[in-house]
Amino acid sequence: MFPQFFAAIIVDLMISLTPYSLENPVEVSEEDYNKLVQMKEKGWSHCDLKGECLAKLHYLRSGFSQGKISIGDFNEREKKLVIGYWNRGS
């Protein structure tokens, strides 16, 4: 068990959805991240919100880097997410 001081620090950790962006970082709490990646009312690849799309891309890329999905599945899912979000207003 961590002392209370450390527990407070752990709670405040944020997940960076844009790890390479220095000028426009987007960070969410772990709780919000988990909610965003589980949104699938219109299918998992559908995103209405920028944060939702970024969280799902982060989740997908993390899974790929850990070897959980193949390169073909990764490319197909990433393409669906990006194109779907890009065309959402069309």
pTM for the structure as a whole: 0.79
pLDDT of residue 1: 52
Going by pLDDT thresholds of 50, 70 and 90, the confidence category of residue 57 is: very high
Give the start-to-end residue ranges of the domains of the chain.
39-90
pLDDT of residue 4: 52
Written as one string, the DSSP assignment of 8-62 is HHHHT-EEES-TT-SSS--EEEHHHHHHHHT--TT-TT--SSHHHHHHHHHHHHH
pLDDT tens profile 9-46:
445 588 999 888 888 889 999 999 999 999 888 888 88
